Structure 1
Amino acid sequence: MLSLPLSPFPPSSHPRSPLACPAPGLTRNLLLGPLIALLLALVAGIAPARAQETRAQETRAQETRAQETRAQDGSGTLLLRSEGGAPVEAPRLKADAAITVSGPTARATITQVFRNTTAEWVEGTYLFPLPEDAAVDTMKLVVGDRVIVAEIREREAARRVYEAAKAEGKAAALTEQQRPNLFTNAVANIGPGETVLVQLEYQQPVRPTAGIYALRLPTVAAPRYSPAPSAVTSVVEGPSAADPVPDRQKIAAPVLDPARRAPVNPLTLTIDLKAGFPLGQVRSATHAIRVEELSGSERRITLADGATAADRDFELTWTAAPGETPSVGLFRERVAGGEAVLAVVTPPEAASPAAPVPRDVVFVIDNSGSMGGASMRQAKASLLIGLDRLRSGDRFNVIRFDHSFDTLFPDLVPAVETHLDRAKRFVAGLEASGGTEMLAPLRAALRDATPEETGRLRQIVFLTDGAIGNEAQIFSAIAAERGRSRLFMVGIGSAPNGYLMSHAAEFGQGSFTQIGTPDQVTERMRALLVKLESPAVTDLTATFSEPGVDATPTRLPDLYRGEPLILPARMRAVRGTLTLTGRIGGTPWQAVLSLDTAEAGTGIGKLWARAKIAEAETARLTGRLSPEASDAAILRLALDHGLTTRLTSLVAVDATPRRPEGARLVSTDLPLNLPAGWDFASVFGEGEAQPLPAPPRQRRAATPATQFAAAQPVALPQTATDFEIRAWLGGVLLALGLCLSLRRRRVAA
């Protein structure tokens, strides 16, 4: 039972005035009441200001959400986060590629048009791909009617020049190599409503394979997975643990969801093909083209649709007319201090089929998120074709990987029906998700349990899009752990990492096959498997009769069926002979070429320098050159030949400041399309770029109702209180609080 205290005072028959004998605690109550009233007044005054601030914040948030919605739904402008964090409109970009093919080389001019549609002064940075063997030697900045030709400088020096020009309000452009096939163009101080052009030029070789000549132009830099340091390394080395991708921020760019944004960065293309021999078929498996016949050996190629979205590699292939395929090509060019020569030689096929050699084949398939969609289907179909080509006596295994990896069998197993059926079910059930941790499955594939079995060929077929940033780790692992294995890279999808593929195959003494479209799967996978089954051209050597010749590479690679040897060299004068020797399936082979018959060529000196730079990079990774010696060789070659490399950049600066003093400069990274066939959710996760979910509503826990027993009535004391005084003082203070509240509202308004 609940009881209340009775009054401490005895009842009296004489009523007393409330003031005659105040109740105990009156002084305390006189203070407590006004304090409470004052507190209420202050709260009442503060609430309107807070409400107004909250409304302002909500308004700003609604504006930001509206801007972001416009950026996502494809209407109006595209907004990106600038360095300051506020959304800014990205510069618009379109590009044009003009390529001239002259025999074994191609000269390309890429014009990037940056258009600023805002009222701000803008700096835009664009991440873009080029062929992995491109020798980038020219950059021009066009502002209005002024053309500024870039200079080649050491990378840090070029960056300092660019940053100084940017701060001074001058138009400037900086071209930097992030990977041999990945570059950035930064353009500073693009004025409001202004259009600025950046024009790049590069030289590249044209490589024939099995009588098919191919030219490839990458158009989009695919998102790359950059692994963090391993957990063990992080624990052991702490914060100083080496980052496998120290430049991860430089190889990343905003990527648009094709379900929410129309494609950006349109590309136009013109190719003047001067093959040097009567042409047969000219086609593209990646784009619709128009082919204009100019002569028996010349064609002009343009895109059938005029312009295309930059979301996949462009590939052009051509063949010679029947009976006109050359097996030897010799070309020369006068360069400073001498001449450059380029030999392109395709060894003949074996006179008679060699006896089949039993093989141990490890298939490795990438099922990470970037392989989602068409790429995963192409990879699975390619692997199934590979399984079908295994012969009696062969052994095999299958490894799949994303952020983890699984090996189907504990070890190599015979290629019998039960094992093949299990492997096919395993492959058919793969789905794309997760990151691309390539190093561990690669090492598992390279691990050779029976290195003494030299009578068997050990081959690794690696199917991936190569969308990673830690290429150096991969190359080092192959060089250190390859043993007797041969590594065959199969590039899958519309925008594979050609640098990773070609150099991994080089380190692995194998070859690189590109499968870019579904209709290429059967044709190109079968061609690769024929290579694996055919004898290779081994023990190749090249000997020049003239002294003082600098040829590259110094160690010639093994060649597979239909593959040519491409050998650039520099000498005082192109004369004498070049003798090539090797073995084709165990049979000696030799070819003697007279250099006096070499035809005039263009860009051969640049290709020689680019190949020498690549060889120095390879020597650094394999330990044949120290990092200091490798860097010195690269820097010397790059500066002498004006090439953009890991250590050098092209920088162009307009002499006249143009941005008004005090005008702010906003910086953005230009967005990229998602490569065609990729699944956005598989790469970036479900709900990417979706509005943030509403915060969860608070809910009280369901608690049983508390039951109270009925209380007995209690007689309350009839004593006097200080109610009147407290009510009077509280009313005065409440009125004062209301006055303060009104005053605050007028000030806030």
Structure 2
Amino acid sequence: MLAAVRIRAHAPLLSRSGQWLGSILAAAAFAAGAAWADQEPRLVTPNDATTGALLLKSSTPGKYIEAPSLLTDVQIDISGPIARTRVTQRFENTTDGWIEGVYVFPLPDESAVDTLRMQIGDRFIEGMIEERQKAKAIYEQAKSEGRKTALLEQERPNLFTNSIANIGPGETIIVQIEYQETVRLTDDQFSLRFPMVVGPRYNPAPQILTASLGDDGWAVVDPVPDRTRISPPVLNPVIGNTNPLTLNVSLNAGFPVGELDSTYHPMDVDWSGANAANLTLSAGSVPANRDFELTWTPKASKAPSAALFRETVDGEPYYLLMVTPPVATQSAPPPPREITFIIDTSGSMGGESIRQARQSLAMAVQRLAPTDRFNVIEFNSVTNALFSHPVDATPSNIARATNWVERLEATGGTEMLPALREALADHGNADGRLRQVIFLTDGAIGNEQQLFETISRNRKDARIFTVGIGSAPNSFFMSRAAELGQGTFTHIGDVDEVAARMGALFTKLESPAITNVAATWPDGSAVEAWPSPLPDVYAGETLVIAAHAAAKDGLVWVSGLNGDQPWKVGLPVKQAAERKGISKLWARKKITSLELDRARSDTLPDLVDDQILNVALAHHLVSRLTSLVAVDVTPTRPDGATLESATVPLNLPAGWDFGKVFGHDGIRSDAPMIPVDALALRKPDAHGANAPKQVERGVPLPNTGTLSDLKLLAGIILVLIGFMLKLVFRRIRPHAA
């Protein structure tokens, strides 16, 4: 302060020209420095963070970039057998630069995703459906032009990527996604699941195959060609959780509700009648780290055994049939069985999952009949079979298997293919037995298509029953594998569920299915119904058929064989209840059936793809071949401003062991996902309890064209030069006239 006073005391009066020129130079220097420095997000050290922030490692040693903040709200509206869900994702840019946020997230594998909406201030921009490559090109062009844009892509039927470009400094962009699905009815209980997190997936390494390819003579085949797109970073739960989620359910069951239960998340329930209730999370919000499940049962002792619903779109009627056949009667003593149990002991099964799997498998082995034969196969990075071939279920063999199962531990990779091939192999001693494969896994793999093709080629007469283990199983793989194997899918998310859910599975395994199932529509009416062909139906399971039919009167008959006796039920078309969204469900079921045909390799892939593309475009659905894209018309990112891309890290699913998945040094052997170990806490104290974790590994970001530190330094230097020039002009006396 004294120095400043001294300068002012000895300086002459400023000339107007000197004041003006000095001010202009200072302002120009400051503006140039600020603009130059703000062209990219500021890289920080953990001690620089002044608010809670998740830091991702950049390519500059010791420097980090703040990840986009993500808040998610889920609204589920259930009306009878149909649920409509709106997922609102709120992306907040906490940096001082422009970013592109990328978020990989799950949805139900049977969901018909038809809406993408981007909110900017008070404006809503609706997404349009396009062929996938065209949608990507539209997004990339808008991104390069500085316009806000969002792109929703399907990586798997239960795995999607949302990309949002040009989120400005301190700005929030809201993206809404909507989809339709049917609720599930099993054993007189209705249920609905909402997946919250993508479990880290094991991606087998590319294979080198010998081939006739000129001089090289070999080719590389990648079983997971999109491995980089399904491998987002994962946050170590020791540090904390990210991505808080709020959830509300509006239930209108269509009948008086008896029991209503949220299996894994406590809910507050507000009843608005015997048929309807509104539910909200008791905790307000939860970390997105395990599936949400809601179950409800009718007040009556039994759920309806048959129902028919209709929606008319542009004069075209679409129907949804739900039929629960009676338990198949056993017309003869049950045939002896050959049962092969497969248990996943990879690293992702560590913690709670392996305990659930061991307990489930031990119960299954104890249920074997003396006339059965069995084997147990475990796999991680390698495959091990308890016996060289299926053996008789004698007390000594069962005891040996039980002891072996109790000692299994989870470690290593998820090389599922050799175990599946071994389980489906015909050892030549089945002697006409009923062959069943029981597959216990979390399904945390990326090579689903390779496994589907293996099941299709090698299954023969074996039936495959999948048991999904853990808080966030890959339901797409589990359910499709069961469909291809003409079996069922059971999920066990908690040790307390093992007895009840394995008991229900045993009932299916030990009872015959309703076979030769067919649906017959009124004479003369054109119809296209899915799935096709119709599957066998096991005890307690419900058959769901979606149809595009011209029928407006008469009866639709669903028939089959109950044991060796015919079974049949008729539903009056005129009495179909009106429901919205059935046309979307029909289109989704058609796409699912076509994808299964493609996995069975009994049709030309290009022909199947043409059909999938046409139905997805016609019904405005996201699919493997179509995406939703929304683009703002007004550019907002200044010319020359750098755009950084940051993938939002995911939580590790509840009950998973981080060390088992990624190794205790933070790296999984096949590196399917990048572990994130950086978290800056509020105003960290370098020596106190709030000091940030020191990070060995993080997310490498691409190098930028220039260094932000140098830009910032250059800007500061220019500002100082401007002020020095201003002081110089203050010392110059104006010449006399």
TM-score, normalised via structure 2 length: 0.82
- Whole-angstrom distance in 1 between the partners of 2:285 and 2:551: 45
Q: 1:388 to 1:628 in 2, by over 3 A?
A: same
Residue from 572, 593, 599 that aligns with 1:621: 599
- Whole-angstrom distance in 2 between the partners of 1:167 and 1:160: 11
1:259 is aligned to 2:235: no
**Counterpart position of 2:709:** none
**Counterpart position of 2:567:** 589
1:197 is aligned to 2:174: yes
**Counterpart position of 1:311:** 289
Residue from 55, 58, 81 that aligns with 1:79: 55
CA contact 2:329–2:562 (8 Å) conserved in 1: no
1:162 is aligned to 2:139: yes
Q: 1:342 to 1:82 in 2, by over 3 A?
A: farther
SS of match in other structure, 2:613: helix
- Whole-angstrom distance in 1 between the partners of 2:381 and 2:110: 30
Q: CA deviation at 1:623?
A: 2.2
SS of match in other structure, 2:356: helix
Residue from 87, 92, 97 that aligns with 2:69: 92
CA contact 1:175–1:185 (8 Å) conserved in 2: yes
Aligned residue pairs: how many?
626
- Whole-angstrom distance in 2 between the partners of 1:425 and 1:437: 24
- Whole-angstrom distance in 1 between the partners of 2:583 and 2:124: 26
Q: 1:451 to 1:548 in 2, by over 3 A?
A: farther
**Counterpart position of 2:191:** 214
- Whole-angstrom distance in 1 between the partners of 2:583 and 2:59: 41
Q: 1:452 to 1:687 in 2, by over 3 A?
A: closer
**Counterpart position of 2:91:** 114
Residue from 478, 484, 487 that aligns with 1:501: 478
**Counterpart position of 2:310:** 332
- Whole-angstrom distance in 1 between the partners of 2:51 and 2:658: 20
- Whole-angstrom distance in 1 between the partners of 2:66 and 2:218: 37
Q: Deviation per CA, 1:543-594, whole angstroms, max 9, x where unpaired?
A: 1114211101221101110101100000234332211221122222111221
SS of match in other structure, 1:241: strand
Structure with greater contact order relative to length (CA < 8 Å, sep ≥ 6): 2
**Counterpart position of 1:364:** 342
- Residue range with higher mean Cα deviation, 89-98 or 283-292: 283-292
Q: 1:65 to 1:318 in 2, by over 3 A?
A: same
**Counterpart position of 2:248:** 270
SS of match in other structure, 1:476: helix
Q: CA deviation at 1:351?
A: 5.3
Q: CA deviation at 1:350?
A: 3.6
Q: CA deviation at 1:229?
A: 2.5
- Whole-angstrom distance in 1 between the partners of 2:355 and 2:212: 39
CA contact 1:451–1:484 (8 Å) conserved in 2: no
**Counterpart position of 1:295:** 273
- The 5 A counterparts of 1:426-437 are 426-437=404-415
1:457 is aligned to 2:434: yes
Q: 1:325 to 1:372 in 2, by over 3 A?
A: same
TM-score, normalised via structure 1 length: 0.81
- Whole-angstrom distance in 2 between the partners of 1:652 and 1:646: 18
Q: CA deviation at 1:625?
A: 2.0
Q: 1:590 to 1:83 in 2, by over 3 A?
A: farther
- Whole-angstrom distance in 2 between the partners of 1:70 and 1:565: 58
Write the letter of the residue equivalent to 2:131: E
- Whole-angstrom distance in 1 between the partners of 2:217 and 2:174: 46
CA contact 1:82–1:668 (8 Å) conserved in 2: no
Q: 1:548 to 1:197 in 2, by over 3 A?
A: same
**Counterpart position of 1:525:** 502
- The 5 A counterparts of 1:310-709 are 310-323=288-301, 325-350=303-328, 355-450=333-428, 453-454=431-432, 456-545=433-522, 546-688=524-666, 689=677
CA contact 1:154–1:648 (8 Å) conserved in 2: yes
CA contact 1:341–1:574 (8 Å) conserved in 2: no
- Whole-angstrom distance in 1 between the partners of 2:396 and 2:657: 34
Q: 1:70 to 1:421 in 2, by over 3 A?
A: farther
CA contact 1:101–1:273 (8 Å) conserved in 2: yes
- Whole-angstrom distance in 2 between the partners of 1:352 and 1:232: 49
CA contact 2:342–2:438 (8 Å) conserved in 1: yes
Q: Deviation per CA, 1:446-476, whole angstroms, max 9, x where unpaired?
A: 112237733x211100000000000001111
Structure 1 stretches of at least 4 aligned residues deviating more than 4 Å after TM superposition: 63-66, 81-86, 231-239, 351-354, 689-693
Q: 1:273 to 1:239 in 2, by over 3 A?
A: farther
Q: CA deviation at 1:692?
A: 5.0
Q: Deviation per CA, 1:622-650, whole angstroms, max 9, x where unpaired?
A: 12321111110011001000000011000
Gaps of 5+ in 2: 1-41, 667-676, 678-693, 698-737
Q: 1:95 to 1:574 in 2, by over 3 A?
A: farther
Q: CA deviation at 1:234?
A: 9.8
Gaps of 5+ in 1: 1-62, 694-749
- Whole-angstrom distance in 1 between the partners of 2:440 and 2:326: 28
Q: 1:351 to 1:419 in 2, by over 3 A?
A: closer
- Residue range with higher mean Cα deviation, 316-325 or 129-138: 316-325
- Whole-angstrom distance in 2 between the partners of 1:336 and 1:81: 53
Q: 1:81 to 1:627 in 2, by over 3 A?
A: farther
CA contact 1:149–1:652 (8 Å) conserved in 2: yes
CA contact 1:102–1:602 (8 Å) conserved in 2: no
Q: Deviation per CA, 1:254-293, whole angstroms, max 9, x where unpaired?
A: 1000112x21111111111111111110102211111221
Q: 1:238 to 1:95 in 2, by over 3 A?
A: farther
Write the letter of the residue equivalent to 1:496: P
- Whole-angstrom distance in 1 between the partners of 2:426 and 2:528: 37
Q: CA deviation at 1:387?
A: 0.7
Write the letter of the residue equivalent to 1:579: W
Which has the greater radius of gyration? Answer: 1
CA contact 2:331–2:564 (8 Å) conserved in 1: no
- Whole-angstrom distance in 1 between the partners of 2:499 and 2:331: 23
Q: 1:498 to 1:282 in 2, by over 3 A?
A: same
- Whole-angstrom distance in 1 between the partners of 2:434 and 2:548: 37
Q: CA deviation at 1:668?
A: 0.4
Write the letter of the residue equivalent to 1:183: F
CA contact 2:328–2:539 (8 Å) conserved in 1: no
CA contact 2:209–2:220 (8 Å) conserved in 1: no
